[in-house]
Amino acid sequence: MTDKKVCAFCDSEITSINDSKEHVIPNSIGGRKKIRGFLCLTCNNSFGQSWDATLATQLNWFSLAVGIERDRSNNPDQIVRTVDGTELLLRANGTMTRKDPFFEITESEGKARIRLFARNEREYREMLRGIKKKYPNFDLDGELKNIQVMPFRVDSPQQYRLELGGPVAGRSLVKTAIAECAAVGILPYRCEIGIRTLKTPSDNSGFALFYIRDIVVNRPKDMLFHLVAILGDSEKGFLLAYVEYFGVMRVMVKLSSKYEGESFTSVYAINPQSSENLNLFVNWDIPTNEMDAAFNGFGVVKKNFDFACKNATAIASHSRLKRERQYVYREELSSVLSQLGIQPGGIPEPKDRERFNRLMDEKVGPFSELIKEHPKMPTLKK
Ligand SMILES: [Zn+2]
């Protein structure tokens, strides 16, 4: 075999016409680095829609919570349940809302009591018009004037289902490992086990969940990251990869047992929010019995797995809350400014300052931590 560029999957020759820019880490979870000459266009599209899409679904809650920005479109809303059973939607801007609108009218002693929850202003207007139809003396105009859109506050603990791995998402991770090899100069066909895994749907022996030990030496405590580490071991002839996403997805990948090049290690790690590169280290000093255990299906040590999930969820939740507060603040700031007749981005006159602060307090009050983070009023120099 020569080193000419062929598609890692279908072996068709890669030319300038069918070459694709493949994301080493899927773009849907925040990957930015791309390589050329790795997959043909057809394979790139097909695996994006199957393997990568399944992986993105498994990690969607994290992508939404930390605010992953994709090249095209947002990540889809994610259903989350509170422990009392209400279904919520987590959205790409970090806010949450009820999954379904809610509308209830109870009548007693000639009076109507209305309870409603609308997910957006348009839905709210529709509901109000519905009330007007039924109760002609309802003050529709007055209500419409006082319209106030606030994100839904969730006080009850939430739960979501976390499913990780499996043969479909697993192949996305194998593909990423081979792509990263290509990025560091090892041609895909030299990853014979990895390629066989991609091509043989029934053979899942080439990748394994790995929560037996934490091999990331300088793991950041307050940040989630994506990492692809490669080990080339000339003595044993191994080419291995370790891929980790958002702290929760941790997978070992066997790439080759015929590696003949020089021994090396490489780590590619990024902050998926900012896509800045991170300087992380991996300790490949893993006892053989642990590696064997993982590839025999015993890679999930419950205590370590639970710890990883708890940690990652806490970091992502914190990030979501911060983004929600920023969103609420921006929305309310522009609404208060417009109430005071001030252009967006403008600063209230000293005479309006008291009113500005009061209005902001009324609107953003429930998000009191926000006010600590963002001083309400830009102070004017005298
Ligand atoms: Zn192809």
Q: Is residue 60's pLDDT more than 80?
A: yes
Number of helices (H) and strands (E) in the chain: give both, helices first: 11, 14
Distance 163 CA to ligand 1 centre (A): 29
Q: Is residue 138's pLDDT more than 90?
A: no
Distance 4 CA to ligand 1 centre (A): 14
Whether 124 and 118 have beta carbons less than 8 Å apart is answered as yes
Q: Considering the chain, what is the average pLDDT of its residues?
A: 87
* pTM score, whole prediction: 0.83
Distance 173 CA to ligand 1 centre (A): 17
Q: Is residue 182's pLDDT more than 90?
A: yes
Average pLDDT over residues 245-267: 97
Share of the chain above pLDDT 90, in %: 54
pLDDT (0 to 100) of residue 155: 63
Question: Which residues have a beta carbon within 5 Å of ligand 1, which is an ion?
Answer: 7, 9-10, 40, 43
Whether 290 and 304 have beta carbons less than 8 Å apart is answered as no
Whether 50 and 25 have beta carbons less than 8 Å apart is answered as no
Distance 7 CA to ligand 1 centre (A): 5
- Its sign, for the CA torsion 297, 298, 302, 303, is negative
Distance 13 CA to ligand 1 centre (A): 8
Distance 180 CA to ligand 1 centre (A): 17
| Rounded Cα–Cα distance for residues 234 and 16 (Å) | 34
| Rounded Cα–Cα distance for residues 212 and 215 (Å) | 9
Distance 44 CA to ligand 1 centre (A): 7
Residue 288 or 370, more confident? 288
Output the CA angle 288-291-294, nearest 5 degrees: 150
Distance 117 CA to ligand 1 centre (A): 49
Hey, which residues does 239 pair with through a beta bridge?
232, 256
| Rounded Cα–Cα distance for residues 232 and 345 (Å) | 54
**Which of 94, 99, 102 has its CA nearest to residue 62?**
94
CA 122 from centre of chain:
28
| Rounded Cα–Cα distance for residues 252 and 295 (Å) | 8
Strands (E) across the chain are located at 22-23, 34-35, 78-82, 87-90, 96-98, 102-108, 111-117, 158-159, 207-209, 226-233, 238-245, 249-256, 264-270, 277-278
Output the CA angle 72-330-367, nearest 5 degrees: 115
Number of other residues whose CB lies within 10 A of the CB of residue 55: 27
Letter for the amino acid at 93? N
pLDDT (0 to 100) of residue 204: 93
Distance 14 CA to ligand 1 centre (A): 8
Q: Which two tokens stand for residue 97?
A: 């809302």
Distance 194 CA to ligand 1 centre (A): 15
Q: Given pLDDT bands bounded at 50, 70 and 90, which one contains residue 131?
A: confident
Whether 68 and 34 have beta carbons less than 8 Å apart is answered as no
152-156, 208-212, 353-357, 369-373: range with highest mean pLDDT: 208-212
Rg (the chain; Cα; Å): 26
